[in-house]
Amino acid sequence: MAQVNPKEAHVKPPFPEQTQDFPGIESKMDPKPDYGEKSYKGFGRLEGRVALITGGDSGIGRAVALAFAREGANIAISYYNEHTDAQETEKAVKDSKKECLLLPGDIQSDSHCKDIIQKTVAKFGKIDVLVNNAAFQGKALDNFEDFDYERVLQTFKTNIISMFSLVRYALPHIKEGGSIINVGSIQAYNPSDTILDYATTKGAIVSFSKGLAQQLVKRGIRVNVVAPGPVWTPLIVQSFPPEHVKEFGKKNPMERPAQPSELASAFVFLACDESRFVNAEVLGVTGGGILA
């Protein structure tokens, strides 16, 4: 395969101006994100394993679900209520000759987090890889006073408190050799003031993961973080104004955002045995944005 300049590998801004309401629908984006359907090739690195991915209906979660399936894993995906997007992910997994369990609902609820784990184990008998990917990012706000209590609470409950619940309920079903991958962000290191609640939770995720890794390694379970830079997902079009979406990713050293497909290999690496000595790390996939 011919080498490609990474700056030119995918579509660059300007994008069509567009906006969506929460939670954002991938099928309505223009251009539609590339989740690796035509490009990702598996090598059996997750054969026989079971992966639970939150936010697996679209964006990074969908790309990870497809990659894991093509590597041999059966997949459970939790998502909020984006049923059409989730069904497309399900089809991609099943086309890869693997099983897919859909788990709609709100992970702000501790009881729903427990239900997700129970249903995954009832279907597949175990969990080998837990990917905490789901996140809420509200509309960009110019004034700090507009970060009201209910919005901040929703952001924290979705982005970080749910991780405490999901890990707690999953641990009895994760054996030695298991892997937990939490999705952070460059926002943990270079926070944008207009989405400060989101950025703050991403900083918390880094601390949570590094501390959790120290405890769970005693059980033979690794914990790591993938920290993306700008990625073309529904999260963007439902939280930023159209003029921002139009130029999204332009200031990155790559002069474009990543496509979800470009994140998937990082998750495969952290999930499989090739990374067995990697623990408590933050793997940046930022296009050159600095994690400091």
Catalytic residue among 79, 169, 189, 198: 198
Residue 189 annotated as catalytic: no
Structure tokens at 292: 């400091």
Burial 153-189 (b: 16+ CB within 10 A, else e): ebbbbbbbbbbebbbebbbebbeeebbbbbbbbbbbb
Q: Is residue 133 helix, strand or coil?
A: coil
In the structure encoding, which two tokens stand for residue 194, read together? 């207009």
Q: How far is CA 143 from CA 34, 188, 190, 193, in A?
A: 34, 20, 18, 9
Residue 71 near residue 53, CB atoms below 8 Å: no
Backbone angles phi, psi at 220, to 5 degrees: 80, 20
Nearest-angstrom CA–CA distance, 14 and 31: 11
Give the Å distances, CA to CA, from 36 to 17, 61, 89, 114, 241: 24, 12, 11, 31, 27
In a 3-state reduction of DSSP, which class is residue 79? strand
Q: Which residues are catalytic?
A: 198
